[in-house]
Amino acid sequence: MKPRDPQQPPTPEEEPLANEGRRRFLVNSALVGTAGVAGAATGIGTLSRSPSAEAARHEAADIHVPPGQLDDYYGFWSSGQTGEVRVLGVPSMREFARIPVFNRESATGWGQTNESLAVMGESAKFQNGDLHHVHMSYTDGKYDGRYLFVHDKLNTRIARIRVDIMRCDKMVTIPNAHAIHGLRLQKVPRTGYVFGNGEMIVPLPNDGRHLDAPEHYWSVFTAVDGDTMEVAWQVWVDGNLDNTNADYSGRFAASTCYNSERGVTLSEKMRPERDWVVVFDIPRIEEAVRLGNYVTFGDNEVPVVDGRGENPFTRYIPIPRSPHGMNATPDGKYLIAGGKLSPTCSVIDTRMLPDLFDDRIGLRDVVVAEPELGLGPLHSTFDGRGNAYTTLFIDSQVVKWNVEDAIRHYQGEDVNYIRQKLDVHYQPGHINASLAETSEADGKWLMVLSKFSKDRFLPVGPLHAENDQLIDISGEEMVLLHDGPAFAEPHDCIICRPDQVNTIQVFDRNDPWWEGARRMAAEDGVTLETDNTVIRDGNKVRVYMTAVAPEYGMDHFRVKQGDEVTVVVTNLDRIEDLSHGFAIINYGISMEVNPQQTSSVTFVADKPGVYWYYCTWFCHALHMEMAGRMLVEA
């Protein structure tokens, strides 16, 4: 048979062959990709999947949320290098909203409006971020719906999102640290502290000294006050810090370390057989800060408590090398570190930590199980019925195992702790079950965030979607129900109940969100809700206008070339979902103005001429007519 022209569709006779070739190609490319990721790891052996069986189960279980019906859960997704947070419904996996945080966002004007620039502060100069983890504030170990907290690995920031309006209201750059990676919250009595891990080691302060002397490179553990969003204190540690978590007693936090040797090359980082989990005693650290027992670095005032070597504040628990995830069981008893390069997880009994800090027991005594789970265990989650679910990155599987049985096995009993292994597609990282990060884990839904989708979706060029897979864990067996394509690169997600998420649909006019515009208007003697006026102050011009569908309060305003113009728009509509926008053609200005909200933007009118401004949200039958002219005199 002559080779077929790839530009032509296959003939009916060629069709089966073409499909066969596609299958073979995809399987081969999947294997190549895996080998690249897993390095010298063993073959993955997980490509034997059965699409028809999955499809059958899909029909059996009901994840379809009919039109007009609401989802049972909210999911909040991180987005990695996209820098935003996404809001999904579970189990439908419908995406409802995106919350811009570290990224520059076109529709809302995030990164351009004065309100967002005030939140971002000096770090607004960065238009990107790397947001791996999102967590909701706690009271007594349960989600309380006040805030979401996130971090930026790329530019070393921690930020807070108001849940009621789903907008970021605080952002802080963390001094002394270099790349905030792990981020978790104090669960008890409340949040409280936001804990952030400095992942990369650098000189302290990192001001040009010790460039060629890695023995002077260090990591710090950071506690931010979640109420004020100021850095409360830091702990100077040995090694580096990867993922972190807080326990359910409120006294301890713990972080994994994959670079205990503080190497700067791959081979140096891989040297020892063991790395560690470092545990922090929060009250002792607070006491040291109170007593002035700390140092500071460079030009910041943040108290840094020395937690290196033997000290009252930290304990370094040796575990197999290069651990990654750190998860707390919802019953409050255990912290579980994912082995990554070791096929094991290390189970730490948090109830033994007080004795460890009083030196009554040895470091390894608190490790009560080290179950062998499979290749590349990264993160774990829980069903509230005593089972853990751990992602096996290299095996492309989720393993369900019983924590108490693993402990019995470690004590020498002949019990099998593995309950089930399920193929996922492919290379899973984070895993999270409904409410599993809280004491209310309810064991219904499991999300597995797979890093590779390979052949699971229609191809979209070299950059593939990630695959967020939905699994039913309510029964004895995990059942894979849904493939959820996702753009770069949701590392993590949390799933909570709708009653834990209370949003407002129409702004209160007293909302602090536009505090800057409110103050400016007061100084100009302008009332935002009623006035449509232009205030000139030298070459600074402030334009105040209202918006009521389908009209702005001003059909034109006049400025001079070179003026610094601030436009303040107040949406007077009180109707839910009636958002307006304000955009200026050829000036690159665009922002949201939601019901009863004030938004403002400042720019230089550098080009003379007529420039139409218009509304960007379809608000009315005459939405297209909702426009006006900015007249810029030469």
Residues of this chain that interact with ligand CUA (CB under 6 A) are: 549-550, 580, 615, 617-619, 623, 626
Residues in the chain: 634
Work out the burial of residue 421: count CB atoms within 10 Å of its CB; fewer than 13 is exposed, 13-18 middle, 19 or more buried.
Answer: middle
**Token pair belonging to 89:** 């419904």
**Nearest C-alpha neighbor of 46 from the set 37, 34, 29:** 34
CB of 166 to ligand CUA, least distance (A): 21
Neighbours of 212 (CB within 10 A): 5
Q: Which does 518 bind (CB under 5 to 8 A by kind): ligand K7E, ligand CUA, none?
A: none
Residue number with CB closer to ligand CUA (446 or 549): 549
Residue number with CB closer to ligand CUA (136 or 619): 619
**Token pair belonging to 106:** 């076109």
DSSP state of 594: -
Q: Which does 615 bind (CB under 5 to 8 A by kind): ligand CUA, ligand K7E, none?
A: ligand CUA
Q: Are strands 84-90 and 73-77 parallel, antiparallel or unpaired?
A: antiparallel
**Nearest C-alpha neighbor of 316 from the set 267, 272, 383, 256:** 256
Q: Which does 319 bind (CB under 5 to 8 A by kind): ligand K7E, ligand CUA, none?
A: none
Secondary structure, 3-state, 526-591: CCCCCCCEEEEECCEEEEEEEEECCEECCCEEEEECCCEEEEEEEECCCCCCCCEEEEECCCCEEE
Q: Write phi, then psi, for 377 (nearest 5 degrees).
A: -65, 125
- With beta carbons less than 8 A apart as the criterion, state whether 152 and 130 touch: yes
CB of 543 to ligand CUA, least distance (A): 17
**Token pair belonging to 269:** 């980082």
Q: Are strands 479-486 and 326-328 parallel, antiparallel or unpaired?
A: unpaired
- For residue 135, state whether it binds ligand K7E (rule: CB under 6 A): no
For residue 596, give the amino acid letter: Q
**Nearest C-alpha neighbor of 152 from the set 225, 101, 211:** 101
Q: Got the DSSP string for 203-248?
A: ESS-SSTTTT-GGGEEEEEEEEETTT--EEEEEEESS----EEE-S
Q: Which does 378 bind (CB under 5 to 8 A by kind): ligand CUA, ligand K7E, none?
A: ligand K7E
CB of 513 to ligand CUA, least distance (A): 19
Q: Which does 133 bind (CB under 5 to 8 A by kind): ligand CUA, ligand K7E, none?
A: ligand K7E
Q: Which does 580 bind (CB under 5 to 8 A by kind): ligand CUA, ligand K7E, none?
A: ligand CUA
CB of 577 to ligand CUA, least distance (A): 12
Q: Which residues, other chains included, contact 298 with Cβ-Cβ below 8 Å and sequence gap of 6+?
A: 175, 176, 204, 205, 206, 207
- With beta carbons less than 8 A apart as the criterion, state whether 313 and 288 touch: yes
CB of 113 to ligand CUA, least distance (A): 17
How many Cα atoms within 13 Å fall on the side-chain side of residue 524? Answer: 23
Residues 169-208 close enough to bind ligand K7E by CB under 6 A? 181
CB of 453 to ligand K7E, least distance (A): 15
Q: Which does 333 bind (CB under 5 to 8 A by kind): ligand K7E, ligand CUA, none?
A: none
Residue number with CB closer to ligand CUA (140 or 576): 576
CB of 623 to ligand CUA, least distance (A): 4
Residue number with CB closer to ligand K7E (330 or 377): 377
CB of 449 to ligand K7E, least distance (A): 7
CB of 617 to ligand CUA, least distance (A): 5
> Taking CB under 6 A as the rule, which mask of x and - marks residues 366-395 in contact with ligand K7E?
------------xx----------------
Residue number with CB closer to ligand CUA (25 or 612): 612
Query: Nearest 5 degrees, angle CA 592-CA 596-CA 602?
Result: 45
CB of 555 to ligand CUA, least distance (A): 14
| Tokens 């933007």 found at | 601
Residues 317-336 close enough to bind ligand K7E by CB under 6 A? 324-325
CB of 431 to ligand K7E, least distance (A): 9
Beta-ladder partners of 139: 142, 190
Q: Which does 389 bind (CB under 5 to 8 A by kind): ligand CUA, ligand K7E, none?
A: none
- With beta carbons less than 8 A apart as the criterion, state whether 633 and 558 touch: yes
Q: Which does 429 bind (CB under 5 to 8 A by kind): ligand K7E, ligand CUA, none?
A: ligand K7E
Residue number with CB closer to ligand CUA (55 or 622): 622
- For residue 132, state whether it binds ligand K7E (rule: CB under 6 A): yes
Beta-ladder partners of 367: 348
Residue number with CB closer to ligand CUA (554 or 615): 615
Residue number with CB closer to ligand K7E (142 or 491): 491
Q: Which does 619 bind (CB under 5 to 8 A by kind): ligand K7E, ligand CUA, none?
A: ligand CUA
Residue number with CB closer to ligand K7E (70 or 463): 463
What is the rounded distance in angstroms from the CA atom of residue 129 to the CA atom of residue 464? 20
Residue number with CB closer to ligand K7E (133 or 482): 133
- Three-state DSSP at 519 gives helix
CB of 19 to ligand CUA, least distance (A): 48
Residues 395-434 close enough to bind ligand K7E by CB under 6 A? 429-430
Residue number with CB closer to ligand CUA (363 or 572): 572
Q: Write phi, then psi, for 144 (nearest 5 degrees).
A: -115, 0
CB of 516 to ligand CUA, least distance (A): 23
- With beta carbons less than 8 A apart as the criterion, state whether 148 and 75 touch: no
- For residue 491, state whether it binds ligand K7E (rule: CB under 6 A): yes
Residue number with CB closer to ligand CUA (132 or 580): 580
- Three-state DSSP at 44 gives coil
Cα 142 from chain centroid?
A: 19
CB of 619 to ligand CUA, least distance (A): 3
Residue number with CB closer to ligand CUA (457 or 618): 618
Strands lying side by side in the sheet with 466-472: 428-433, 445-450, 466-472, 479-486
Residue number with CB closer to ligand CUA (535 or 615): 615
Number of residues that bind ligand K7E (CB under 6 A): 12
Q: Which residues bind ligand K7E (CB under 6 A)?
A: 132-133, 181, 243, 324-325, 378-379, 429-430, 491-492
